[in-house]
Amino acid sequence: MSHKGVLKFLPSLMLGVALAVPAFAESASQSMKDAGHSATNAVSHAWQGTKTAVKDTDITAKVKIALHNDKLTKGHDIHVTTRDGVVTLTGHAPSEAARRAAKLARETTGVVSVNNDIRPSRSVSSRD
């Protein structure tokens, strides 16, 4: 291409670049906004998950304390887990102690529901 041909082509090239730059900038700006929204959502989900885990840990501790402080349930093989406010009781205990454990769990603040999966065991009688 000759020098004159380049000079004729240059204004068109400059106009094309001038028109394309704002479109690229707008696209980059939208990508940055999308990335910001994604990061905000990720932080929000992480916060909610952490908040729920802390509440569940608090509920589990309260139920365990209630079971430990109750004469009927104290000393039995009763395990407590909590997920989203739903308490699950597992282990082995006499039927009466299992029913009492479920009642104590239901009465605990923050408990949504109780799954009583405690398996019956015989009561241990005291030996002379």
All domains of the chain, ordered by start, with CATH? Answer: 3-120 (3.30.1340.30)
Q: What's this model's pTM, rounded to 2 decimal places?
A: 0.63
Q: Is the pLDDT of residue 128 over 50?
A: no
pLDDT the model gives residue 8: 61
Closest CA to 91 of 81, 79, 101: 79
Q: How confident is the model at residue 66 (pLDDT cuts 50, 70, 90)?
A: very high
Q: How confident is the model at residue 105 (pLDDT cuts 50, 70, 90)?
A: very high
More confident site: 54 or 1: 54
Q: Residue 123 and residue 128: Cα distance in Å, rounded? A: 16
Q: Residue 30 and residue 106: Cα distance in Å, rounded? A: 49
Q: Bridge-partner residues for 120, per DSSP?
A: 93
Q: H or E segment at 80? A: strand 77-83
pLDDT the model gives residue 127: 40
